[in-house]
Amino acid sequence: MSIFPLIKNFQATTYTKAFILNAIVGAIICALAIELRLTLENNKTSYYGFWSNIYNEKKLSELHKFVTTLIATFIVSVGVYYLMYFLFLYGGGQLSNNKLKSAKVSNLFK
C-alpha cells in the first residue's frame, strides 16, 4: 500500500476539482513569487545579501531583481508541482490515459 497521495478523495477527476486544484497551485506560486520579490526590495535582508553576492553587486538593479525573481519562481513552481503530485496525485488530470492509483517517484520520470 502506498502512502501517496496523502489526500485520496480529491483528485482532478472532474472539471471543478481540476480547476480548484489548479487555482491552489497558481495561488501558492503567485503568493510566493510576490513575497520573494518584496523581500528583494529590502537591501537589509539575508535574501537580498545572498543575491547581491551572487551578482557581485552592492545594489541590485531592476534587471537583477527580475532575473532573480524568475529563477526563484521557477524553482518554487517545480517544488509546488511535486508537492501537489504527492498530496493529490496532481498532474496529467483528465488528459492522462493512465489512471494512476498511487504516486511513485518513478512515475514522475516516465
Q: pLDDT band for position 15 (50/70/90)?
A: confident
Q: Which residue has the higher pLDDT, 1 or 9?
A: 9
pLDDT reported for residue 1? 53
- Of 31, 19, 16, the residue nearest 76 (C-alpha): 31
Q: pLDDT band for position 109 (50/70/90)?
A: low
Sign (positive or negative) of CA dihedral 87, 29, 110, 95: positive
pLDDT reported for residue 80? 96
pLDDT reported for residue 90? 86
Kindly tell me if the per-residue pLDDT of 39 is higher than 80.
yes
Helix/strand/coil (H, E, C) string of 4-61?
CCCCCCCCCCCHHHHHHHHHHHHHHHHHHHHHHHHHHCCCCCHHHHHHHHHHCCCCCC
pLDDT reported for residue 33? 97
